[in-house]
Amino acid sequence: MRCFKLLGERVNARIFTSQVAELQIRAALLNRFTQLGTPITVVMP
């Protein structure tokens, strides 16, 4: 939740459907940042 709030404390959109879209975009950004920051590990035989 802390990382989610780093992208903005408030929801800027006024209409509910726009608010939903804004929050989905934030979640997609966080997922992408997490994916980029996760190292690829390979098990050595």
pLDDT one-digit tens code per residue, 1-45: 677 777 777 888 899 999 999 989 988 988 898 888 888 888 888
Question: What CA–CA distances, in Å, run from 38 to 4, 16, 21, 23, 26?
Answer: 18, 33, 26, 23, 18
Q: Give residue 28's pLDDT.
A: 92
pTM, entire model: 0.70
